């Protein structure tokens, strides 16, 4: 049955289960987890792994405590039997499972301690810290030859959120090596200030240095990646919608505050908008390109001046000069010629997005989630659209849309499933072609993922599968588990 009820649900007691790969992990890392080939390789066997947030999972009698399930990659991609389930009740993980913490609202990865194994970052923006409700927290779980084990809290910088409440620290997560030393930097977004950390990290969770980014106001979204081809990541802050800018501004980071008040001040990109984003090389020129999503249109914002009807994405192309303030983005929405579907109020096109090469042609493609899309009369059934990269940039040529009524896609479209609430393109079986992964967090009571392997012609629908939360180690009682509500590609969250 594939029914998504509107009421909340609660997971049954969720144990911290570790089912490691049946084949032995490498005794030493494959190449180092910050190389492009094995960015998310938590156990060092040379295959990327898949981190999946289930933020409304219960732990014992604690509702919506949250969990993260890691599915280990292999030559046959991922399945639900080779996994690790992590909660705040897992040995070595800081904190305790508390009512409505929503551990696993966001996830990311990088090799923070430079031991050659990817480490898992988990955001818990609803966590209460002391007497401060919704203060939020961020946790790192350490990778190693046996997979993920042990962890530490990443503390906010000194003075973070002074005098403010409901900050939601951990609302977004991004990683990238900004100074070229091989130790990735970490950026954490929130409703208060952004937080920036310079690697490497110690096993206590302490970074070499940190600071809070107060100059752009609220910093709910953050993106990192190399857009000028120098081998070092740039950072973009996306504060999110405000009363005077519903589409959300985009700022290029120029470094920490230093000296005078306006030294290193972030550069605003006046023509760009976005609430969440990701970087990849869409036109194959060696420079990363920034893709942002603005899913909330006027109907959802109860105002005018928000996204194009139904939502949109924007693309800014990198160059030797990076992304500059005079650039105008290329905009795509469901009324763009060649994009499948029709723009309608509340479709939420751009709610999630991912950049990756599904057919190994050397051009990154973009997968866009539209979880508010109706399929026929089925409201909020959801859809995804795959747009292809090319030498001329992102194109609608051969664009294709998927729903759960698409032939070959498992399941059946139903009201409220929210197919496409999250999306992810990543090569899990090391064949050079990214698998297509779509989150369906309100499918049934637990939530599911649709996974399809890549090929020269794109996602292969035959023998594609749904992987669901119960089979991945979570149990459901009265609140939906929302397995698939977070992947390491970005999605827009409240």
Is residue 32 pLDDT above 70, yes or no? no
pLDDT higher than 80, residue 137: yes
Cα 221 to Cα 225: distance, rounded to the nearest angstrom: 14
Q: What's the whole-number mean pLDDT along residues 468-485?
A: 92
If you average pLDDT over residues 395-417, what whole number do you get?
A: 97
pLDDT tens by residue, 180-216: 888 899 999 999 999 999 999 999 999 999 999 999 9
5: confidence class by pLDDT, cuts 50, 70, 90? very low
Residue 23 clears pLDDT 50, i.e. is over it = no
Lowest mean pLDDT segment, chosen from 4-13, 101-110, 418-427, 457-466: 4-13
Q: Is the pLDDT of residue 15 over 80?
A: no
| pLDDT value for 8 | 32
The pLDDT value recorded for residue 7 is 32
pLDDT for residue 493: 81
Q: Retrieve residue 289's tokens.
A: 């390109």
Residue 129 vs residues 49, 134, 137, 189, 389: alpha-carbon distances, Å:
31, 8, 8, 17, 44
CA–CA separation, 69 vs 79, rounded Å?
Answer: 11
DSSP 264: T
Contacts with 12 (C-beta within 8 Å, 6 or more apart), sequence order:
58, 475, 476, 477
What pLDDT score does 417 carry? Answer: 97
Question: Rounded CA gap, 72 and 79, in Å?
Answer: 8
| Residue corresponding to tokens 């030559």 | 75
pLDDT one-digit tens code per residue, 331-362: 999 999 999 999 999 999 999 999 999 999 99
For the chain, the 3-state helix, strand and coil shares in percent, each to the nearest 5, are 0, 30, 65
The gap from C-alpha 201 to its chain's centroid, in whole angstroms, comes to 22
pLDDT band of 260, cuts 50, 70, 90: low
Q: Quote the CA–CA distance of 445 and 482 in Å, as a whole number.
A: 8
pLDDT digits over 159-174, tens only?
A: 998 888 899 999 999 9
Residues 255-260, mean pLDDT to the nearest whole number: 78
- Asked whether the predicted pLDDT for residue 21 surpasses 90, the reply is no
Q: What's the pLDDT at 355? A: 96
Q: How much is the average pLDDT of 41-63?
A: 93
Q: Cα-flanking dihedrals φ and ψ of residue 361, to 5°?
A: -95, 5
Instruction: Give the range among 15-24, 263-272, 330-339 with minimum mean pLDDT.
Output: 15-24
Query: What share of the chain has pLDDT > 70, as a percent?
Result: 92
pLDDT class of 261 with cuts at 50, 70, 90: low
Quick one: tokens of 350? 């751009």
Kindly report which listed range (328-332, 438-442, 471-475, 487-491) carries the lowest average pLDDT score: 471-475
User: How crowded is residue 262: how many other Cβ atoms within 10 Å of its Cβ?
Assistant: 8
Q: What is the pLDDT of the chain when averaged over all its residues?
A: 90
Task: Identify the pLDDT of residue 168.
Answer: 95
| Res 2 pLDDT > 70 | no
Whole-number Å distance between alpha carbons of 247 and 295:
9
Query: Which of the pair, 80 or 36, is modelled with greater confidence?
Result: 80
Share of the chain above pLDDT 90, in %: 83
How does residue 6 score in pLDDT terms, banded at 50, 70 and 90? Answer: very low
Average pLDDT over residues 243-262: 87
């Amino acid at each position: 049955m594939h029914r998504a009820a509107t009421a909340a649900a609660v997971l049954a007691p969720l144990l911290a289960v570790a089912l490691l790969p049946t084949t032995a992990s490498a005794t030493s890392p494959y190449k180092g987890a910050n190389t492009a080939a094995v960015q998310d390789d938590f156990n060092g066997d040379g295959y990327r792994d898949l981190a999946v947030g289930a933020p409304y999972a219960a732990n014992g009698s604690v509702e919506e405590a949250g969990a993260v399930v890691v599915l280990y990659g292999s030559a046959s991609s991922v399945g639900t039997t080779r996994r690790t389930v992590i909660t705040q009740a897992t040995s070595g993980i800081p904190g305790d499972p508390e009512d409505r913490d929503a551990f696993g609202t966001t996830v990311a990865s990088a090799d923070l301690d430079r031991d050659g194994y990817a480490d898992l970052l988990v955001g818990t923006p609803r966590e209460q810290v002391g007497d401060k409700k919704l203060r939020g927290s961020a946790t790192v779980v350490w990778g190693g030859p046996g997979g993920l084990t042990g962890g530490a809290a990443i503390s906010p910088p000194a003075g973070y959120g002074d005098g403010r409440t409901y900050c939601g620290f951990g609302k977004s997560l991004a990683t990238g090596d900004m100074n070229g030393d091989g130790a990735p930097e970490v950026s954490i977004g929130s409703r208060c200030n952004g937080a920036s950390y310079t690697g490497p990290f110690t096993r206590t969770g302490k970074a070499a240095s940190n600071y809070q980014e107060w100059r752009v106001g609220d910093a709910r979204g953050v993106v990192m990646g190399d857009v000028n081809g120098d081998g070092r990541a740039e950072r973009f802050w996306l504060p999110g919608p405000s009363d005077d800018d519903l589409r959300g501004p985009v700022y290029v980071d120029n470094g920490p505050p230093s000296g005078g008040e306006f030294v290193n001040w972030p550069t605003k990109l006046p023509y760009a908008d976005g609430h969440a984003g990701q970087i990849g090389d869409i036109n194959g020129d060696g420079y990363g390109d920034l893709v942002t999503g603005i899913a909330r249109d006027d109907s959802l914002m109860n105002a005018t001046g928000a996204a194009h009807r139904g939502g949109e994405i924007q693309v800014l192309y990198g160059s030797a000069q990076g992304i500059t303030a005079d650039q105008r983005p290329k905009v795509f929405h469901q009324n763009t010629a060649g994009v499948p579907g029709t723009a309608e109020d509340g479709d939420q096109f751009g709610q999630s997005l991912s950049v990756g090469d599904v057919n190994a042609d050397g051009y990154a493609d973009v997968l866009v989630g539209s979880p508010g899309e109706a399929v026929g009369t089925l409201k909020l059934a959801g859809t995804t659209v795959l747009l292809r990269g090319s030498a001329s940039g992102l194109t609608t040529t051969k664009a294709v849309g998927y729903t759960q009524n698409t032939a070959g896609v498992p399941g059946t479209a139903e009201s409220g499933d929210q197919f496409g609430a999250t999306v992810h393109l990543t090569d899990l079986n090391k064949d050079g072609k990214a698998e297509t992964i779509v989150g369906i967090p309100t499918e049934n009571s637990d939530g599911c993922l649709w996974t399809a392997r890549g090929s020269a012609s794109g996602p292969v629908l035959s023998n594609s599968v749904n992987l669901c939360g119960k089979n991945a180690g979570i149990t459901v009682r009265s609140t939906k588990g929302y397995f698939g509500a977070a992947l390491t590609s970005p999605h827009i969250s409240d």
